[in-house]
Structure 1
Amino acid sequence: MKIALVGPTYPFRGGISHYTTLLYRHLRRRHAVDFFAFSRQYPRWLFPGTTDRDTSGAALREPGSQPVLDSLNPLSWFKVARMIAAGDYDVLIIPWWVAFWAPQFWTIARWTRRFSGTRVLFLCHNVVAHETSPLSAALTRSVLRQGDCFLVHSGTDEQNLQAIRPQAPVRRCFHPTYDVFDADMPQADDLRRQLGLSGRVLLFFGFVREYKGLKVLLQALPEVAAKMDVTLLVVGEFWKDKQDYLDEIARLGLSERVMIIDRYIPNEEVNAYFSSADLVVQPYLSATGSGVVQTAFGFGKPVVATRVGSLPEVISDGQTGYLVPPADPGALAAAILRFFEEERGAAFSAQILAEKERFSWDHLVAAIEELARSEP
């Protein structure tokens, strides 16, 4: 097939950029792919982190992308749309995750459908954004109505999409595992010494936002700390309300038990943080999918998470991790304690390796191929 792909890649950072880059890498092994990448992503006032640029020394790159889509320049939207419409592609793949991209993607998808025979496939990371509004919901509906077919990563997203496009072809496929963060340094032992870590180590990784449930994990930690030597590593940028979390740590008497690394972690350091951890914890209050789980699985690390979104579909309860109800500190503490008291680490890691194939990029590429050939 001849495929057009739109989305972020280096020099932009983050999970969607990594995902789209790896998708491009795996698609082009079997198909002719043109990657229409971003030249500018978010305006500075809209991005709460330090920068949306990837400062990694070992940045994830794939040659051949064309940085032509400027989020703030409508002329570039039409330029990309015309290039795709004129390119005689079998399918156009557009990632969907947040309503900011509604005008740009609506323009490209609408033009493509009107002026070519190319099928438009939306790859939905989130059908409905984590923190939504009536306006963003309306924008989402208007954009997704321009799609011919859809790929989702969770049952929740499949239901949300069918409410918008009940007759459209939809395929659900697991979020593939991220297994590219294998830089040699710093190593886990070096990081443990550098940070002064001892005992068991829990890892909460990624941007800190309210829906990710860090406060629930903090509330669960005293019960765990009462029974064992444990440290919680909170690794990732705080987008807002950091003082609220610091106040909660102080109120719970956890200053010696919680270590915060408040910054975006470059690719070459991801290995060290995951390798240093005994257990990854994702106490989400709501979710659709999670790239952090797939990063953890890429390192063979078990995960304790909540029963929200696709997490119950990805984590095999009692085999590759544990699942607990959301917003329940007691249940979260019990699962963490059970993991360590029953010494489940080696068995869970072995099972993660055994299940690796079901999270392969080949499955995702096959699902895209099936959708591209499905009946309109």
Structure 2
Amino acid sequence: MNNTRKIVISVVGPSTRFLSGISYYTIRLCNALATQNAVHAILFRNMLPKRLFPGWKRIGKTDVSIGINSSVEVLEVLDWYNPFSWALGAKRLRSSDAVIFEWWTSSVVHMFLALLLLSGKKSKIFIEFHEVVDPLEYGILPLRMYARIMGRIIRRSASRFIVHSEHDRILIASQYKINPKCIAVIPHGLYDQYPILDKGQSKTILGVQNSFVILFFGLLRPYKGVSDLIRAFEKLPGTIQDNAILLIAGEAWEDLESLEIINNSPLANRIYLKNRYIADEDIPIFFSAADLLVLPYTRASQSGVAHIGIAYGLPILATKVGGLVESLGSYKGTKFVEPLDNNALIQGIMELYNTRAQERYEPPDEMRWDRIALKMREIMSN
């Protein structure tokens, strides 16, 4: 592929009907690539039976903070149950020089395979992995086996594969029997589309004024380690507890244990739980109010929440799991602790409380979207 001419790139991923971090990644990638290339966004309209999605009541009803640029041709057409929609998507792929499939769940892999077969596989195919296997799917043997089998089938059609860390490169190579040399590592971009608000005013809006705000943000799922964070908060010195608020903002999908721990906690009055979907318009308030972002995960490939925190220049306390070590390693505001080690979590919070930064940390240049688009183009040209 000539590295100077404008090439046609199709990006296949979720639309904002099922709004998630992958939706935003798809938008930001399309916009970044479109500055130097012709880009088609081929999006999922219906990814799975609606009632199987825990947040099904808000599907198609959530506002978004950033949209796809007008220079990008958008085709929001793919339905999990409709082969005619796959044919429409495949028709668009035929006119592309390169196709990027955004992989984060095996529930859409049958559509990937159909698109490849119907398009004739004449384009260069790239699969960008955001997850090896979704944590929920991994816990269900038939789904885990389905993801592994389908992944090994579809990999035969791909030219290259893209991940966001060396850790994920090794996992993907093992899980789907891919030659590691065919897997490129490109950093995850920043989610910097949100405005930074006045910290004092944001705290007042949330009712946490004059407090050191420790933020956990995102869906509550067992592997996110929220229960560990609550127990660590309960064991902090009294001088910190009296001046700190643990702010947990996110919808509880599977993690009922953490809800029970909060209800029975002796510090329940210092734990502010916002158990709901956090709309895009509210995200700036939570991150602007925060003094510390904690990611106490027990496993992770990447974290979109971390890339919001970096954009806000927050100090981040994260566990040494998955790709977090690499993705956050170049960010000067990060402190790492071992996972499932509450003493280390306590010490980390204490240290960052006592040495809290007065200025925002700068995000690494490697996370800029123009850099990421350039690296994508280089891979496609080889």
Normalised TM-score (structure 2)? 0.88
| Cα separation, partners in 2 of 1:263 and 1:371, compared to 1, 3 Å | same
* Residues 15-45 of structure 1 deviation map (CA, whole Å, 9 limit, x = unaligned): 0111101111111111011111222233222
Are the counterparts in 1 of residues 169 and 180 from structure 2 also a CA contact under 8 Å?
no
Residue type of the partner of 2:33?
A: L
Gaps of 5+ in 1: none
Are the counterparts in 1 of residues 50 and 56 from structure 2 also a CA contact under 8 Å?
no
Residue 147, structure 1, aligned to residue 158, structure 2: yes
Picking from 112, 124, 134, the partner of 1:129 is 134
Q: CA deviation at 1:326?
A: 0.6
* Residues 191-227 of structure 1 deviation map (CA, whole Å, 9 limit, x = unaligned): 4223321421011111111111111101111122523
Aligned to 1:108: 115
* Residues 56-115 of structure 1 deviation map (CA, whole Å, 9 limit, x = unaligned): 555421144111111221221233123312x1x210011001110110111113444xx2
Distance 1:236 1:307 in 2: 22
Are the counterparts in 1 of residues 164 and 327 from structure 2 also a CA contact under 8 Å?
no
Counterparts of residues 247-258 of structure 1 (less than 5 Å): 247-258=260-271
Aligned to 1:193: 204
Which is further off, 40-49 or 313-322?
A: 313-322
Distance 2:203 2:168 in 1: 38
Number of equivalences: 362
Aligned to 1:366: 374
Are the counterparts in 2 of residues 56 and 268 from structure 1 also a CA contact under 8 Å?
no
Counterparts of residues 299-310 of structure 1 (less than 5 Å): 299-310=312-323
Aligned to 1:44: 50
**Residue aligned with 1:128, SS:** coil
Distance 2:90 2:181 in 1: 22
Picking from 79, 92, 105, the partner of 1:83 is 92
Residue 236, structure 1, aligned to residue 243, structure 2: no
Are the counterparts in 2 of residues 124 and 150 from structure 1 also a CA contact under 8 Å?
yes
Residue 6, structure 1, aligned to residue 15, structure 2: no
Aligned to 1:286: 299
| Cα separation, partners in 2 of 1:36 and 1:204, compared to 1, 3 Å | same
| Cα separation, partners in 2 of 1:110 and 1:366, compared to 1, 3 Å | farther
Aligned to 1:159: 170
**Residue aligned with 1:323, SS:** strand
Which is further off, 46-55 or 215-224?
A: 46-55
Normalised TM-score (structure 1)? 0.90
Residue 323, structure 1, aligned to residue 336, structure 2: yes
Distance 2:50 2:206 in 1: 32
Distance 1:370 1:58 in 2: 30
Counterparts of residues 238-277 of structure 1 (less than 5 Å): 238-242=252-256, 244-277=257-290
Distance 2:49 2:297 in 1: 28
